[in-house]
Chain A
Amino acid sequence: MSDEKAEKNTSPEGTGLESGEGTTLPDKEVDSADTRTDDDRQAVDVAHATGVGRWAELSPVDSEPVKIGERRGMFGATRGQDTSGYGGLVTPTLLPGASARPYGSYFDEVADILGRALGESVGYDDAVEKVVVDRGEMTLFVAREHLVAVARVLRDHPDLRFELCMGVSGVHYPGEPGRELHAVYPLLSITHGSRRLRLEVTCPDDDAHVPSVVEVWPGNDWHEREVWDMFGIEFDGHPALTRILMPDDWPGHPQRKDYPLGGIPVEYKGGVVPPPDERRAYS
């Protein structure tokens, strides 16, 4: 965000500002209530002028962490092995929720430019479900139907220029109904000094389809095949979506959480060590 831009947008939108201040804000190192002081007014003004990030201030519900499961007991031991007396303890597993503006670093700039560029076509609010800034990394949760449009803008816009997509990594969250499968795309912009950005797309288990970005980043060809192989996400529009690491006729998708690790017990010095997924575990 440049200074001249901020000066242009001096018309105050007081209502939006006040509603933003009244919301509960996530307590995070990067984006905490401390960082959101009066001198962030410019960022808020720009956000309002461009129509970007308004939801983050108006709908505090989005900032709530995402629950992907729960942990029982004190030490995470399962199969009746928790003898600590804390077996009834239930702790939710919470992933970081949406962040509110300003995001800090170059993230606001990226969001602003993306917002303006998408405004002409699909619209930022429709395409980007939420923005999570966590541990100094920015994640854009993109609606899957708009993934290719967002990818194209990110690659082609001269102020964004994320030329390289460092593949795609699948993650299976069986505890997040309707959004079980995630595809995570780490992007890199060499032009802008190795800036990084992460796209995340979700799809449900029973409709595991995500559009392919191979037409935008051809180098994602094998990466998408790997995620199909390991997680069963179908990348629509991929030129040849076949298995890549497992044999062609392999049933199932091995890195999903409901797929067993397998293994055999091993004898060692007279004792028998069970396979890794049957050992006592604390997680």
Chain B
Amino acid sequence: MTTHDETIYDDTAASPGLDPALPGDPYGASVDDDTDDAPVFTVSGGDWNDLVDEATALSEERIVVNMGPQHPSTHGVLRLILELDGETVTEARAGIGYLHTGIEKNMEFRTWTQGVTFCTRMDYLTPMFQEAAYCLSIERLLGITERIPERASVIRVLMMELTRVSSHLIALGTGGMEMGATTVMTVGFRERERILRVFEAVTGLRMNNAYIRPGGVAQDVPHGAVDMVRGVVTELRTGLGELEKLLVENPLLKGRTVGVGYLDLTGCTALGVTGPVLRSTGLPHDLRKSAPYCGYETYDFEVITRSGCDAYDRLRIRIDEMYESLKIVEQTLDRLQRTEGQPVMVEDKKIAWPAQLAIGGDGQGNSLDHIREIMGTSMEALIHHFKLVTEGFRVPPGQAYAAVESAKGELGCHTVSDGGTRPYRAHFRDPSFNNLQAVAAMCEGSQVADVIVAVASIDPVMGGVDR
């Protein structure tokens, strides 16, 4: 076995990462923050004009502003490096990596199924999309794409569309908050809460669900889930109406967003930008329509486009997309009722975990019936369970790329297998990572305040960007 060779850990000299000749701790914190005696201002509140006056008094030609990585309006730990002329941004660069957690590397040391629990944490606002992309690529590697039960695909679509709504709600809510509209934020988070309650009822967790598994989903939706989601959809429609009334014709919002963060189709194509940003240029590109997966071709919905190429149109697209998602959710509910009792996992017992989950006295765990069977009556079942859970299943060597239309754009997953029980390589093409490159194109030449709006209209989530 060459893939995860144990000898590498003993021989530091052979590893390119650990050069013993390096003095001190090579991974220690760097102290090289020398700014060459340039004057440094630390801004934390106060009047911006005072600062500008003070800076201009020094008659320096360039003012470089480090916005972030700990700035509340940069969507987490995004660092924006802005070069200013007065209040006009002449150059903008994004600095990322502050939330890098090595998820892709870690996934190479867990089984294929365990990988789901890692990738769900990348973009923490769209956990289901990472899980779906990862599982679709594994299923392609296994060659079982056609054998995924219909009910599993329906549940996947249901969960993905609810995730899309919740992600868009956060995009609008935090975007509004960054412009100073706290009501938008509270409404957005309040509505998202309803969706998180659905997730909790179905998966047991509000975020980081690890619900979609290779071969299907972890467990069937519980009794009463269909009615619950139906109720939530009605409530969401009301809440969305409220948001719409707050935002769509709001003159303050329009003043802040119309014409801001402009990026046309040429720019989007050059920079590989997908998702609502691309659709705000009028191009109806949506993988759910153009390259359907999980049976999206059988659902009735529209791809929303607008032609303003600006932050306002992206906001409007997100609102309209949420209504389309709710339409899909309602269609999945009908199908869930029709497929009641059908399997949610692929038939192959070499891939599907034998246990269903159940609520016990000490929380969620394997169902007691299953425990009784493997501990009391069937030793073969016990062996099988043990092998599958500890060792995992093997995936034939090769590579696959599966992409889903996440709330932010194309989320692709490139997996390579060497025939083992763990991914040889799992790479995620996160839409935020790619789209964040457009910050410079959107912001240069605009005001500092517009940078916030432009970044919010991309809707980056640093967990996904840095992985």
Contact = CB atoms under 8 A, between A and B. Distances in A.
Contact of B19 (A164, A218, A251): A251
The 9 closest A-B pairs by CB, nearest first: A252-B17, A219-B272, A69-B2, A283-B420, A169-B427, A194-B290, A194-B291, A175-B2, A282-B391
A245 B100 contact: yes
A34 interface: no
A219 B400 contact: no
A215 to B, nearest CB: 11
A257 B4 contact: yes
Interface residues of B, number: 71
A94 B417 CA distance: 10
Contact of B398 (A95, A184, A247, A283): A95
A70 B18 contact: no
B384 to A, nearest CB: 14
Given A219-B273, A258-B8, A277-B9, 17 more contacts: A76-B1, A93-B419, A94-B397, A95-B418, A188-B410, A194-B291, A219-B270, A219-B434, A232-B16, A249-B30, A252-B19, A257-B5, A258-B5, A259-B16, A260-B15, A276-B109, A283-B3
Contact of B466 (A172, A174, A221, A245): A245
B199 interface: no
Given A221-B437, A249-B30, A166 B285 contact: no
Interface string A239-262: 000011111111111111111110
Interface stretch (A12-20, A53-61, A106-114, A132-140): A132-140
Q: Is the interface of A mostly helix, strand, loop or mixed?
A: loop
A207 B348 CA distance: 44
A78 B283 contact: no
9 contacts: A96-B397, A166-B429, A193-B291, A196-B401, A246-B97, A247-B97, A258-B17, A281-B422, A282-B392
Q: Is the interface of B mostly helix, strand, loop or mixed?
A: loop
Interface of A: 29, 68-72, 75-76, 78-79, 91, 93-96, 134-137, 139, 163-167, 169-172, 174-175, 184, 186, 188, 190, 193-194, 196, 198, 217-223, 226, 230, 232, 243-261, 276-278, 281-283
B429 A167 contact: yes
A243 B98 CA distance: 12
Nearest to B272: A219
A164 B274 contact: yes
Contacts of A165: 272
A222 B15 contact: no
B163 interface: no
Nearest to A276: B109
Which of A95, A170, A230, A243 counts the most B-chain CB atoms under 10 A from its CB?
Answer: A95
B238 interface: no
B272 A171 contact: no
B1 A134 contact: no
Given A136-B140, A222-B433, A247-B97, A166 B412 contact: yes
B310 to A, nearest CB: 20
Contacts of A139: 399
B272 A217 contact: yes
Interface in B10-34: 14-19, 22, 26-27, 30, 32
Contacts of B197: none
Given A184-B399, A219-B272, A258-B8, A252 B15 contact: yes
A68 B418 contact: yes
Contact of A184 (B6, B97, B414): B414
Nearest to A218: B270
Contacts of B272: 164-167, 217, 219-220
Interface in B147-167: none
A68 B392 CA distance: 22
Given A71-B419, A76-B421, A260 B17 contact: yes
Contacts of B102: 254, 261
Contacts of B414: 169, 184, 186
Given A257-B3, A283-B421, A244 B397 contact: no
B425 interface: yes
A246 B100 CA distance: 7
B397 to A, nearest CB: 5
A194 B422 CA distance: 30
A72 B1 contact: yes
Given A163-B269, A169-B427, A193 B290 contact: yes
Interface string B249-277: 00000000000000000000111111000
A224 to B, nearest CB: 11
B295 interface: no
